[in-house]
Amino acid sequence: MLNATYIALIPLLPLAGFLLLGLFGRKYFKNSSGIIATIILLVATVLAIYTAYTYFFEVGKVHGVYQKLIPLKYTWLEFSKGVSIDMGILLDPITCMMLVVITFVSLMVHIYSLAYMKGEERFATYYSFLGLFTFSMLALVISSNIFQIYIFWELVGVSSFLLIGFYYDKPSAVAACKKAFIVTRFADLGFLIGILMLSFYSGTLDFNTLIERLTSPGSTELSTALSSSFLGISALTWAMILVFIGAAGKSAMFPLQIWLPDAMEGPTPVSALIHAATMVVAGVFLVARLFPIFALSAPEALQLVAYVGAISAFLAAIIACTQTDIKRVLAFSTISQIGYMMFALGVSKYGGENGLGYTASMFHLFTHAMFKALLFLGAGSIIHFIHSNEMKDMGGLRKLLPITHITFLVACLAISGIPPFAGFFSKEEILLAAWQQNTIIYWIGLLTSGLTAFYMFRLYFGIFWSKAPSLSDSAHRKHHGEGGFAMMLPLVLLAIGAAAAGFIPFGNFVSSDGKVLESEFHLQLSIAPVTFGLIGIFIAMWLYKKQNDKPDKIAASINGLYKLAWNKFYFDELYIFLTKKIIFNLIAKPAAWFDKNVVDGLINATGNTTQFISKKIKGVQSGKVQQYAAYFLVAAIAIAVLFIYWWK
């Protein structure tokens, strides 16, 4: 049987770690903080796996359908009857999957950081922030209440902010952490208003009740939400679009993707955990959590999800082909892969065979977490060795970093969708779902998979082949090594995941309606993506395996497009224009000026006028009796005249 205490401990343990290390780490656990945090997380991981196992194989299934269990719920803040923020645990297949993914990747990152962050002055602070993030992320996925998810949504945002800005004396890191927070905050504004709308129409904030009321045909809540409309679109669809804006912000979908590449300023293990495997997929998770409402009651909003996902997948892949900073390539690749997950959800229907996209999306989320975390940790070990992020400083590293090389290759094959690695299975399923529902999106997805293979192997060949390693690097290797056991163990474990995770029969566990989804394997449909992937790999090999001038020539021949992609389609410039020129110069500056000069000016004017008048009339009380007599006389005459002429 499932004990709620154990589940509650999964997020609470990292929280305890955060408090312990945050309050006392600097003083008492300067060197042991890493070990403490890692042990705490190991326990949490075991509990998460235990919970998932119990759920999937013992308690979760009733009459062949996975249930949404709520083993724990406390009222946190009650607004009115039935409308309250609860702190609770909602267990369903995607929660259990996320619990395992988050704790596992986080554990890998904790272990990896033991070596990677060694010697860092704020070692304890680093681990306490990791604990805060892991806590918030775990609490986010177990949320039973839409406001609970918003609360932890904000908290993961702030932990991401703290970790991106970890090297706070670097101006670029400071700018990046601000940007990440503000862009996602802007998106959260949409999420917040969406929640307000949903709570207004459904009269609840509880996920299960909310979904039930807004999907069962004939319920009064649903009919009012559908009948009131704005600009020809129903209120419910607007609410779901607003919620999706929040999701798109967190998941760095176009046009809110601008913060993610800059977020790479954070320590590399953090990028692996937050900006690749867990936090950025929170948007996908949110759409999946509310999927029944999207699919059954707001299909237009779901269409939007599909197209935003597809466009993000494609554009990010193009940009990734031109970037030279290896972490930025991986960041754009993350956007692209999350785009896959989004459009898979977007093309999915609720229930049965047509719900394949939902399963595929969650499957890809799972496999992506493995291979993308692996890619980032691999990149970390390269950066650790070379002390640079730029591809031009690398080359021929396969002999110097053998374990990194092999694991990186596994991850590249996985993300490129080459069988039998994990990415192949999930991507194949996504494309199958797209093929069944929306041909345009299928072709975009297919083309993107070719681009994915190309930019990943451009990276791979550029780092590990290309030129011969420089002599200084070889000398470096002798006394530096590859980073030690703590860095290699996570790479190997994740590589095993990236290689083998595809064989999990995902449809048995995760599906849109909780029933088992028998996914068939379509050989003819898997030929196309694999071919595209192989073509991408061969082009990359031809261009980058040996150092030559072909890439530059090609770049020159498509100069305009290349420049456009290299500059990330000028999205950053657009945002700078909007914020600096419009909001700053046209709103904030005039507001401050208006306040200082007009509003306060009026107040001062009142004061000055009073002073002026009193100065003028203060001579009246002079104490001279003759003057008083004169005033008296004038006033008496004036009053007399008044009486005579006006008072009739």
Partner 1 sequence: MNLSLLILIPLITAAAVLLMRNKQQVKWVALVGTAIQLALALVLLFAYRNEVASGNTNQFLFQQQYEWFPSWHISFHLGVDGISVVMVLLTSLVVIAGVLVSWNIEKMTKEFYFLLILLSIGAYGFFLSLDLFILFFFLEIAVIPKYLLIGIWGSGKKEYAANKLALMLMGGSALVLVGLLGVYFSSEVRTFDLIKLSHLNIPVNIQMICFPLLFVGFGVFTALFPFHTWVPDGHSSAPTAGSMFLAGISMKLGGYGCLRVATYLMPEGAKQYANIIIVLSTIAILYGAFATMMQKDLKYMNAYSSVSHVGFVLFGIGMLTKTAMTGAVIQMVSHGLMTALFFAVIGMIYERTHTRQVNEMGGLLKVMPFITTLLFIVGLCSLGLPGLSGFVAEITVFMGAWEHPDAFHRIATILACMSIVVTAVYILRAVSRTAMGSVKESFAHITDAKWNERLAAIILIAGILAIGVAPFWINDLIKPGAEIIMQKIMLVP
Alpha-helix runs per DSSP H in 387-416: 402-415
Binding-site string for partner 1 from residue 597 to residue 616, where x marks contact by CB under 8 A and - marks none: --xx-xx---x---------
Q: Which of 289, 299, 306, 308 is nearest to 345 (CA)?
A: 306
Smallest separation (angstroms) from partner 1 to the CB of 188: 8
Who contacts 171 (Cβ-Cβ below 8 Å, separation ≥6)? none
Smallest separation (angstroms) from partner 1 to the CB of 510: 28
User: What is the C-alpha separation between 336 and 178, in angstroms, rounded?
Assistant: 23
Smallest separation (angstroms) from partner 1 to the CB of 587: 5
Closest to partner 1 by CB, 147 vs 442, is 147
Closest to partner 1 by CB, 78 vs 573, is 78
Token output for 50: 């235990």
Instruction: Using the rule CB under 8 A, give the single segment among 319-327, 426-434, 509-517, 592-600 that binds partner 1.
Output: 592-600
| Other CB atoms within 10 Å distance of the CB of residue 403 | 17
The string over 105-143, giving b where at least 16 C-beta atoms fall within 10 Å of a residue's C-beta and e elsewhere, is: bbbbbbbbbbbbbeeeebbbbbbbbbbbbbbbbbbbbbb
Token output for 376: 């980032």
186 counts as binding partner 1 under rule CB under 8 A: yes
528 counts as binding partner 1 under rule CB under 8 A: no
Who contacts 581 (Cβ-Cβ below 8 Å, separation ≥6)? none
In this structure, what are the phi and psi dihedrals at residue 337, rounded to the nearest 5 degrees?
A: -70, -35
| Other CB atoms within 10 Å distance of the CB of residue 186 | 14
223 counts as binding partner 1 under rule CB under 8 A: no
User: Do the strands 61-62 and 233-234 form a parallel or antiparallel pair, or are they unpaired?
Assistant: unpaired
Smallest separation (angstroms) from partner 1 to the CB of 282: 15
User: Do the strands 69-80 and 83-91 form a parallel or antiparallel pair, or are they unpaired?
Assistant: antiparallel
Q: In the window 3-22, what residues touch partner 1 (CB under 8 A)?
A: none
Token output for 45: 């991981």
Contacting residue, 65, 574, 587, 640, with partner 1 by CB under 8 A? 587
Smallest separation (angstroms) from partner 1 to the CB of 550: 42
Smallest separation (angstroms) from partner 1 to the CB of 173: 8
174 counts as binding partner 1 under rule CB under 8 A: yes
Smallest separation (angstroms) from partner 1 to the CB of 156: 11
Q: In the window 336-375, what residues touch partner 1 (CB under 8 A)?
A: none
Q: In the window 126-165, what residues touch partner 1 (CB under 8 A)?
A: 147, 150-152, 154-155, 158, 165
Smallest separation (angstroms) from partner 1 to the CB of 170: 9
Closest to partner 1 by CB, 197 vs 302, is 197
Contacting residue, 177, 338, 499, 537, with partner 1 by CB under 8 A? 177
Closest to partner 1 by CB, 77 vs 641, is 77
Cα dihedral sign for 509, 510, 512, 517?
negative
User: What is the C-alpha separation between 271 and 376, in angstroms, rounded?
Assistant: 7
Smallest separation (angstroms) from partner 1 to the CB of 169: 5
Q: In the window 398-457, what residues touch partner 1 (CB under 8 A)?
A: none
Who contacts 239 (Cβ-Cβ below 8 Å, separation ≥6)? 194, 197, 198, 201, 225, 298
Smallest separation (angstroms) from partner 1 to the CB of 366: 28
Task: Give the three-state DSSP class for 89.
Answer: strand
46 counts as binding partner 1 under rule CB under 8 A: no
User: Do the strands 69-80 and 65-66 form a parallel or antiparallel pair, or are they unpaired?
Assistant: unpaired
CB 225 within 8 A of CB 234: yes
578 counts as binding partner 1 under rule CB under 8 A: no
Smallest separation (angstroms) from partner 1 to the CB of 31: 18
Q: Within 13 A of 367's CA, how many CA atoms are on the CB side?
A: 36
Closest to partner 1 by CB, 547 vs 579, is 579
595 counts as binding partner 1 under rule CB under 8 A: yes
In this structure, what are the phi and psi dihedrals at residue 298, rounded to the nearest 5 degrees?
A: -135, 60
Cα dihedral sign for 286, 289, 291, 294?
negative
561 counts as binding partner 1 under rule CB under 8 A: no
182 counts as binding partner 1 under rule CB under 8 A: yes
CB 352 within 8 A of CB 316: no
Smallest separation (angstroms) from partner 1 to the CB of 5: 19
| Other CB atoms within 10 Å distance of the CB of residue 589 | 11
Task: Give the three-state DSSP class for 65.
Answer: strand
| Other CB atoms within 10 Å distance of the CB of residue 546 | 12
Contacting residue, 592, 605, 629, 638, with partner 1 by CB under 8 A? 592
Closest to partner 1 by CB, 610 vs 627, is 610
| Other CB atoms within 10 Å distance of the CB of residue 184 | 28
Q: In the window 63-102, what residues touch partner 1 (CB under 8 A)?
A: 75-80, 83, 85
Contacting residue, 128, 199, 278, 323, with partner 1 by CB under 8 A? 199
Closest to partner 1 by CB, 147 vs 506, is 147
202 counts as binding partner 1 under rule CB under 8 A: no
List residues binding partner 1 (CB under 8 A). Answer: 26, 75-80, 83, 85, 147, 150-152, 154-155, 158, 165, 168-169, 171, 174, 177-178, 181-182, 185-186, 188-189, 192-193, 196-197, 199-200, 584, 587-589, 591-592, 595, 599-600, 602-603, 607
